[in-house]
Amino acid sequence: MGNLGTQFSFGRGALMPQEEMLEVNTKKQNITIGILNETDVNEHRIALTPQAVQLLVDAGNKVLFERNAAERAKFTNQDYSEVGAIICDAKTEVYEADVLIKVAPFNSQEISLLREKQTILSSFLINESALQQVHELTQKRVNAIGFDYIRDIEGNYPVVRSMDEIAGSMSVLVAAEYLSNSNVGKGVLLGGVTGISPAEVVILGANTAGEFAARAAMGMGAHVKIFDSYLQRLITIQQSLGQRVFTSNYHSGVLQKALKSAEVVIGTIQLVEDGQNFYVSEDMIKGMKQGSVIVDLSIDQGGCFETSACTTHKNPIFTKHGVTHYCVPNITSRAARTSSIALSNIVVPILLRMTEMGGVKNFLKHDFAVRQGVYIYNGILTNSYIANKYGLPYKNIDLLMAAF
295-309 tens-digit pLDDT:
999 998 888 999 999
Please report the DSSP string for 242-281 in residue order.
TS--EEE---HHHHHHHHHH-SEEEE---TTSTT----B-
- Is pLDDT at 368 greater than 80 in this prediction? yes
Instruction: Please report, for the chain, the start and end positions of each structural domain, with discontinuous segments joined by +.
Output: 32-155+336-403, 161-329
Confidence category of residue 337, pLDDT binned at 50, 70, 90: very high
Counted residue by residue, the chain has a size of 404
* pTM to 2 decimal places: 0.82
Nearest partner of 69 among 96, 91, 54, 92, judged by Cα = 91
Q: Phi/psi of residue 220, each to 5°?
A: -90, 0
Q: What is the pLDDT of residues 173-184, one digit of tens each?
A: 999 999 998 777
At residue 19, the pLDDT reads 41
* CA dist., res. 1 & res. 111, Å (int): 37
* CA dist., res. 106 & res. 182, Å (int): 36
Non-local CB neighbours of 237 within 8 Å, separated by 6+ positions? 206, 210, 211, 214, 226, 228, 247
* CA dist., res. 163 & res. 298, Å (int): 12
Question: What 8-state DSSP symbol labels residue 151?
Answer: -
Q: What is the pLDDT of residues 215-255, one digit of tens each?
A: 999 999 999 999 998 999 999 999 999 888 999 999 889 99
At residue 13, the pLDDT reads 43
Please report the DSSP string for 27-60 in residue order.
-----EEEEPPP-STT----SS-HHHHHHHHHTT
Non-local CB neighbours of 266 within 8 Å, separated by 6+ positions? 168, 171, 172, 175, 201, 202, 203, 204, 210, 213, 294, 295, 297
At residue 277, the pLDDT reads 57
Note the CATH number of domain 161-329.
3.40.50.720
At residue 58, the pLDDT reads 96
177, 183 contact by CB (below 8 A): yes
* CA dist., res. 173 & res. 213, Å (int): 9
Q: What is the pLDDT of residues 6-44, one digit of tens each?
A: 443 334 444 444 444 444 456 788 999 999 999 988 899
Architecture of domain 32-155+336-403: 3-Layer(aba) Sandwich (3.40)
* CA dist., res. 303 & res. 96, Å (int): 36
Residue of higher predicted confidence among 183 and 110: 110
Q: Phi/psi of residue 10, each to 5°?
A: -85, 135
109, 39 contact by CB (below 8 A): yes
Strands, E assignment, 95-151:
99-101, 119-122, 143-146
At residue 17, the pLDDT reads 43
- Is pLDDT at 74 greater than 90 in this prediction? yes
- Is pLDDT at 5 greater than 60 in this prediction? no
Q: What is the pLDDT of residues 82-96, one digit of tens each?
A: 999 999 999 999 999
Q: What is the pLDDT of residues 285-334, one digit of tens each?
A: 999 999 999 999 999 888 899 999 999 999 999 999 999 999 998 899 99
* CA dist., res. 312 & res. 375, Å (int): 25
Helix-helix angle 208-219:158-179, to 10 degrees: 30
At residue 276, the pLDDT reads 52
3-7, 54-58, 211-215: the lowest-pLDDT one: 3-7
Three-class DSSP category at 121: strand
At residue 8, the pLDDT reads 35
* CA dist., res. 347 & res. 120, Å (int): 12
What is the average pLDDT value for the chain, to the nearest integer? 89
Non-local CB neighbours of 162 within 8 Å, separated by 6+ positions? 342, 343, 345, 346
C-alpha distances (whole Å) from 256 to each of 64, 126, 163, 287 are 52, 27, 29, 8
Confidence category of residue 4, pLDDT binned at 50, 70, 90: very low
Please tell me the chain's helix, strand, coil percentages from 3-state DSSP, rounded to the nearest 5.
40, 20, 40
Q: What is the pLDDT of residues 378-402, one digit of tens each?
A: 999 999 989 998 999 999 998 888 7
At residue 376, the pLDDT reads 97
Looking at the chain, the whole-number percentage of residues with pLDDT higher than 70 is 91
Non-local CB neighbours of 81 within 8 Å, separated by 6+ positions? 65, 87
At residue 338, the pLDDT reads 96
* CA dist., res. 401 & res. 130, Å (int): 25
119, 142 contact by CB (below 8 A): yes
